[in-house]
Chains A and B, each alone.
Chain A
């Protein structure tokens, strides 16, 4: 059996469940956790990073986008923006483990990252300050969603280039479409090298005499108004000095994602809608020749809900609730006389049986979904439904152990 992480396993149709997360994380440098919203992506990414730090003796960074407050606290990220921050060994000790490696964590601050990127590419301080102060820039960097996709990948590139970590686990931002962040570097490159951008920064007078661009300006003027158009032009004229840098950088970010040291972990639940989205995403990764390392199925209902024996027990409890209640009454009365009420016991038995049968419907639906999975990667991990929220290291370790072997 080829190890999942060596990259030797053929892409596309590797044998199911042959590899382990352990092997995958031991051999890759970048793990990108992706998938639909609301499936526990952030928690899964954090759990994978925690496990790698505990078991592999490596220096691991988890780069998260928007963690739940309690999770952020657990990772020591509260109020810390872009700065990478070491999770103290003390935190591990209180969770009852001694890590062999180190766990670092950072949260992505979109605005701060954009500003840093501008500072990096700007030819001089004046251009930098003018761009940072430009209202259009502030809108693009702070408010508009596509910019998050790009900056997350850009930041990953920057951290990876500094070579400080053995493994970087990155959580992807919630996007309209899970694929957006994959396209982001290319879109950014296209944007800055496009002919339209050059049209926009042509001085205003020469626009009106240029036959090719005249219709464009006429329509754009009518829709947006000349003044706004002038604002846009001014902004991109400022940006002009940085095009080359931006395009080059976007290309590099794109290359890093398809590098063999990078792998993708698709997280989903077994609910129909998110699972279809996750499946589509996994297919796209394969089509783009990106490495689909694992699929993690989260919040899966426990096995005991699917037994045929359980169903027949529940059916009989429901049908003969009164009769059983009468039989059980003496046992319960011994504990406390008020608990011996036969009607009450019968109600409880019926509720319990109904609860089981209800959950069984969902559990069987989940298994059906799982068996119809069209893409099966080397590592297919299933995480059971945890009754309580995961908000500390101990919880992350509990989850991590489920996906590890």
Chain B
């Protein structure tokens, strides 16, 4: 199986709030540090990617935000404009006002048009070999299937026409396991794990893209081994705690409470992790990223996540 970073096109998805953009940004950064020229594309135009690199807001036109990391924001209308210019040689008149309106309308009415323009632009960058790797901060897991299945859906719906003729080469790229992969990000919590398990099934059944890795984000550190946990339990007993309080010259209760919270949280989470491991095909790599106890989010965090990701990938 092609190693994750040797793919050409990687879609990163996950339930909202699990750190999908963090992982995508870190993956792009790590690949660039390994000497690759990388494009990271944000599909949900929230502008978060720029924040993770502490760069000014990104647009449809890609910009180098770090050495060899180019960032862009998907804009389906701009993608259509580029497509018309490149493929159909339809002259672009000014801001193509009426066309934009017509497009917006058709895209709302005709399912798949918006999706195909997104996937089309990404596949185009791959086909033209403009980058070694294209990382997509893709829509959340509820929406990614529609996106990845769009070329196939269009193939079924549209019998002729230019869009139809364009879907074949896109499908070739998307279906090539050595070129394209999906990365599902989750946290070790109930809903994210459930969604990831469901996503894995739907990706297999409804798309031609393969699931290349599952990233488990925000894994809490294991504080104690078994016997250490016994020591910890006894430390909490009134006698030992009294002694400890004397030694530290204060109330050690809150400090022990924090550790207890960490232990319980980890235990609850590990049951969800077990469920995930049992449900995901053993051949699909699982990458674990630690919970980060950091002051703020920004480039520093992205670098830390990139380093952890690199370790997990065996570099």
Give the interface segment out of B31-39, B170-178, B255-263, B303-311. B255-263
Beyond A37-B17, A351-B259, whether A361 also contacts B294 by CB under 8 A is yes
Contact check, B296 vs A272: say whether CB atoms are below 8 A apart.
Answer: yes
Interchain CA distance A309-B250 in the complex, whole Å: 7
Residues of A within 8 A of B130 (CB): none
Chain A interface residue count, Cβ-Cβ cutoff 8 angstroms:
87
Chain B 125-149 interface residues, beta-carbon cutoff 8 Å to A: 139-140, 142-143, 146
Which residue, B46, B99, B105, B146, has most C-beta atoms of chain A within 10 A?
B105
From the candidates A176, A221, A328, name the one contacting B140 in the complex (CB within 8 A): A176
- Partner of A347 from the list B228, B250, B262 (CB cut-off 8 Å) is B228
Cβ of B282: which chain A residues have Cβ within 8 Å of it? none
Contact A194 B105 (CB under 8 A): yes
Interface membership of chain B positions 214-234, coded 1 if the CB is closer than 8 angstroms to chain A and 0 otherwise? 000000000110011011101
| Beta-carbon contact of A313 and B252 below 8 Å | yes
Whether A38 touches B15, Cβ cut-off 8 Å, given contacts A196-B102, A219-B102, A348-B228, is yes
Task: Return A329 CB to nearest CB of chain B, in Å.
Answer: 10
Given A37-B15, A136-B110, A352-B161 contact (CB < 8 Å): no
Docked Cα-Cα span, A31 to B162, in Å, equals: 47
**A327 touches B (CB below 8 Å):** yes
Is there a chain A Cβ closer than 8 Å to B163's Cβ?
yes
Report A377 CB to chain B, min CB distance, Å: 22
Docked complex: B63-111 residues within 8 A CB-CB of A: 88, 90, 98-99, 101-102, 105-106, 108-111
Contact B232 A352 (CB under 8 A): yes
A324 & B248 in contact (Cβ 8 Å cutoff) = yes
Q: Are A139 and B112 in contact (CB under 8 A)?
A: yes
B98 touches A216 (CB 8 A): yes
The reply on A288 being an interface residue by CB < 8 A is: no
| B158 and A358 form a contact (CB under 8 A) | no
B254 at the A interface (CB under 8 A): yes
Q: What residue of chain A has the Cβ atom nearest to residue B247's Cβ?
A: A324
**Residues in B whose Cβ lies below 8 Å from that of A345:** 231
Q: For residues 373 through 405 of chain A, which have their beta carbon under 8 Å from a beta carbon of chain B?
A: 385, 387-389, 391
Q: Which secondary structure dominates chain A's binding surface?
A: helix
Give the contact stretch, choosing among B2-10, B53-61, B190-198: B190-198
Chain B residues with Cβ below 8 Å from A272 are 296-297
Say yes or no: is B201 at the interface (Cβ < 8 Å to chain A): no
On chain A, the residues within 8 Å of B142 by CB distance are 145, 174
A-chain residues with CB within 8 Å of residue B243 when the two chains form the complex: 327-328, 331
Contact of A351 among B223, B234, B254 (CB under 8 A): B223
Give min CB distance, B120 to chain A, whole Å. Answer: 12
Partner of A355, one of B161, B189, B250, B262: B262
Instruction: Spot the interface stretch: A10-18, A224-232, A240-248.
Output: A224-232
With contacts A317-B248, A352-B232, A359-B293 taken as known, whether A332 is within 8 angstroms of B146 at the C-beta atoms is: no
- Asked if A225 meets B163 with Cβ closer than 8 Å, knowing A194-B105, A274-B17, A317-B255, the reply is yes
Residue of B with least CB distance to A216 = B102
| CA gap between A273 and B298 in the complex, in Å | 11
Determine whether the beta carbon of B157 is less than 8 Å from that of A135: yes
- Please state if A355 and B249 are interface contacts (CB–CB under 8 Å): no
Give residues in B with beta carbon < 8 Å to A: 15-18, 21, 44, 46, 48, 51, 88, 90, 98-99, 101-102, 105-106, 108-113, 139-140, 142-143, 146, 153, 157-164, 187, 189-192, 194, 223-224, 227-228, 230-232, 234-235, 237, 239-240, 243-244, 247-259, 261-262, 264-265, 268, 293-297
Interface residues of A (CB under 8 A from B): 36-39, 68-70, 135-136, 139-140, 143-146, 174, 176-177, 187, 191, 194, 196-197, 200, 215-216, 219-228, 231-232, 236, 269, 271-274, 277, 302, 304-305, 307, 309-310, 312-314, 316-317, 320, 324, 327-328, 331-332, 335-336, 338-339, 344-345, 347-349, 351-353, 355-356, 358-362, 365, 385, 387-389, 391
Q: What are 6 contact pairs spanning A and B, CB under 8 A?
A: A38-B18, A145-B142, A232-B110, A309-B254, A331-B243, A348-B224
Extra pairs beyond A310-B254, A352-B255 (7, CB < 8 Å):
A39-B17, A219-B102, A272-B296, A304-B257, A310-B258, A353-B255, A355-B262
